Every structure is written in structure tokens, then in C-alpha cells.
Amino acid sequence: MDALEKLKLLGPPTCFEPAEEVGAAGRRSPPPRDDLSGCVHNAVMPGGKRIALLKTLLTSACERDCRYCAFRQGRDFRRVSFSPDELARLFMRLHQRNVAEGIFLSSGVAGSGPRTEDRLIATAELLRHRYGFRGYIHLKIMPGAEREQVLAAMRLADRVSVNLEAPNAERLARLAPRKVFAEELLQRLRWIEEIRREMPGHWPSSTTQFVVGAVGESDVELLTTTEFLHRQAGLARAYFSGFAPVPDTPLEDHPPTPPLREHRLYQSSFLLRDYGFTVEELPFDAGGNLPLDADPKLAWARRHLAHAPVELNTADRHALLRVPGIGPKGAEKLLRARRQGTLHDLTDLRKLGIVARRAAPFILLDGHRPAHQLRLWPTSP
């Protein structure tokens, strides 16, 4: 099997690993005979730049028996592997043909976590040092990888990630019995932040992924861990991957997770990361889950701002970010606009790019509630 045929088998399975902001197809269409639509994706990088991102595994062989995973040990399907040199040469061929601009590289765990991490690092070293590639590299940190390997990966990559999969040790034991939450996974995220603090310089961002809905974890569990990682481990992004049953796995009869739950978790994680919210402020129900009928920021505003609207001409940034329709960029524009004069009506907000119809029920403009004709509590998907 040649390298391109291997890629066609190893690229599409990375749909189980969210990365960056990946669209369904490559921004640049590869030649038809390559048929790499499941491998090269339109991705939005940190900072907003769009690139064609190659996503692939180094190998689909795995010695772990995670109960939800398509690559679990013992499952009957064709396993394929790249050598580091083989994958590096293939990527550079695609890069030189303007098919792929960056690479996301993950792997099944074959021959221990450290041994697999060595092969991931070797691939990135070949790209950087032999081929002089200076573009985007996202490297996965394997369970049990050694601290020096984490440091080596950070020196090569623009982003590194550790898949926690579950929010705590109890849930992980039910999801992936042979993985150890604190010692194998969480400690690697701690090391990443320690390295950034102890060794000043330009270091890659870090992310993690959770599998949502497979083992009964609540939203409050997932978001409590997410908040901790943002505050204590410098996490740039948490990804929430709704569970989807895979045939011939122990959870094949478990129902899939509704996409809307995944969406609400993302909205809440952004409130924690970018808007100054805490987990305690989020609108969980008695079971510790988010409401699906309204986004969490709107649900919070209904409870707290309906009778205590925010005066946009005097509120500080923290208060502005609590208003639906106002994001971090909108808040900054609003603060600048106030220095030029008083804001009087919703038209002033629309000129700043603020979603005025969402903000209207919860604000004052120069001491007055703005006139609006929409229902007080519009449902938001």
C-alpha cells in the first residue's frame, strides 16, 4: 500500500478528534484522483487565519480498550501505520502541491504512550529540520508521555493537546478502563503550563477533548474541569465531542448525544474563558445539566438583568460582557465609542456590530430602556 492509500484510511477517522475550527472540506480542492476530502479540511486557526489542514493518525493500531473507540484493541478492522519518514515525505509532497498548509497529527497508542510519542515527535522533527517546514503543526500528547517528550513536542508544534476524554477519574474509569486520569493525562496538561511559566519564550497553545454523553457525566462536571483547566493550566480551548455509537464496541447500543447539548457546552465554555463567568453562575438544572431551550448567557440574563438592566454608557467591561448580543470585541468597541459621546438608541449599537435585538431587553441607553418590538424572551438555538 502506498502512502496516499494509507492516508485515505488514516485521515477520515480523525473526525473523532475535533481540532481547530474545522469545516467539512478542504478550502483548496486537491486533484480529483487524490480524493482527500476526508483528510484535508478548511480550518480556522487561532487568530482567525484559514488554512487547509491535513488531519491524520500516525497509526490506527492501539493497545488500549476504550469502550467507545473505533480503534480499541481487539476490534476487527484493518489497521494501518505510517513511519515518521513516510508521513513527513507525503505531507511535504501535498504541501508543495498547495494541497495542505498545516498538519494535525494524532495516533493510536501502539507499543506504549512514550514509544508512540517518540514517533510523533520524530515526524515533526523531520518536517521542521529536514524539510524546513515552518507552517502549522498540531501534535497530540500521548497518555503517559514523559516530561522531556512534552517539552520536545512543544518546541516543534504550534499547538499541543491532551485528550482527557472524561471530566474526572470516576467517569474515565467507565469510559477508558486502562487510562489513569491524573497520572497519565492531567499531569501532561500541568507540565505544559509549568514549562510555559518556567521557561519564558514563545510556546504553543494547549487544548483538550471530552467525549460527551457516553457514561452519564453531567454538564457541571465537564464545565468544572474546563474552568479549572482554563484558570490553572492555561488551556486555550476545550473541545466537546458528542458521543456517537460505533459498531463492535461495548457502547454500541448506547444512544448518541444530541448535537444541541454539545453546542450548549461550547457556549458555556466560552463564557468561562472569555466573558468572566464562573461555573456557579451558569444555569444548570437539578441534574447538573444546561437547558437546551436557550443559550446559557440568555438564560442568565433573564434571571439577573430583566429587572436590573445594564446602563451601556457607564457600565464597565465586565458588566457589558454579561449582556446578550455583546461579545469581547463589541465591548471594546462600545468602550471606545463612549469616549466620543453618549449612546442613545439601538442604531448606535448596530453600527458597532452589536446584536441590538438580543441586548435590548437587558439594557439602558442614557437612562432609558430602548424601544424594541421583539418578544421579551426569544428562543435561541
Residue in 182, 261, 183 with CA at minimum distance from that of residue 216: 261
Lowest mean pLDDT among 32-41, 88-97, 312-321: 32-41
> How many CA atoms does the CB half-sphere of 340 hold within 13 Å?
9
Residue 376 predicted with pLDDT over 60 = no
Residue in 308, 336, 333 with CA at minimum distance from that of residue 322: 308
Residue 34 predicted with pLDDT over 70 = no
**Stretch 89-95: mean pLDDT, rounded?**
97
* pLDDT grade for 145, boundaries at 50, 70 and 90: very high
Residue of 36 and 52 predicted with greater confidence: 52
Element (H, E) at 179: none
Cβ proximity of 205 and 236 under 8 Å:
yes
Residue of 83 and 46 predicted with greater confidence: 83
Does residue 122 sit in helix, strand or coil? helix
- pLDDT, position 29: 35
Domains, the chain, ranges and CATH? 3-281 (3.20.20.70), 296-364 (no CATH)
Residue 23 predicted with pLDDT over 60 = no
Cβ proximity of 225 and 164 under 8 Å:
yes
Mean pLDDT of the chain: 92
Residue 381 predicted with pLDDT over 60 = no
- pLDDT, position 225: 98
Q: How far apart are CA 239 and CA 21, in angstroms?
A: 10
Lowest mean pLDDT among 47-51, 104-108, 127-131, 294-298: 47-51
Question: For 172-186, what is each residue's pLDDT tens digit?
Answer: 999 999 999 999 999
Cβ proximity of 222 and 165 under 8 Å:
no
What percent of the chain has pLDDT above 70? 94
* pLDDT grade for 26, boundaries at 50, 70 and 90: very low
* pLDDT grade for 375, boundaries at 50, 70 and 90: low
For 30, list phi and psi in degrees, rounded to 5. -70, 165
Residue 11 predicted with pLDDT over 50 = yes
Q: How far apart are CA 156 and CA 118, in angstroms?
A: 13
**Long-range CB pairs of 89-97, under 8 A, 24+ apart, other chains included:** 89/3, 90/3, 90/4, 90/7, 91/54, 91/127, 91/133, 92/127, 92/131, 92/133, 94/30, 94/36, 94/40, 94/54, 95/133, 95/135, 97/30, 97/31
- pLDDT, position 372: 65
- pLDDT, position 48: 84
- pLDDT, position 38: 85
Cβ proximity of 77 and 260 under 8 Å:
no
DSSP string, 47-109: TS-EEEEEEEESBS--S---TT-TT-TT--S---B--HHHHHHHHHHHHHTTS-SEEEEE---
**Stretch 41-64: mean pLDDT, rounded?**
92
**Stretch 250-260: mean pLDDT, rounded?**
97
- Residue 220 Cα distances to 189, 217, 279, angstroms: 21, 8, 7
Residue 323 predicted with pLDDT over 60 = yes
**Stretch 136-152: mean pLDDT, rounded?**
98
- pLDDT, position 206: 97
Question: For 54-70, what is each residue's pLDDT tens digit?
Answer: 999 999 999 999 999 99
Residue 213 predicted with pLDDT over 60 = yes
- pLDDT, position 33: 39
Question: How big is the chain, counted in residues?
Answer: 381
Residue 204 predicted with pLDDT over 80 = yes
3-state helix, strand and coil shares in percent for the chain, rounded to the nearest 5: 40, 15, 45
* pLDDT grade for 37, boundaries at 50, 70 and 90: confident
Residue 192 predicted with pLDDT over 60 = yes
Q: Which residues contact 89 (CB under 8 A, 6 or more apart)?
A: 3
Residue of 155 and 378 predicted with greater confidence: 155
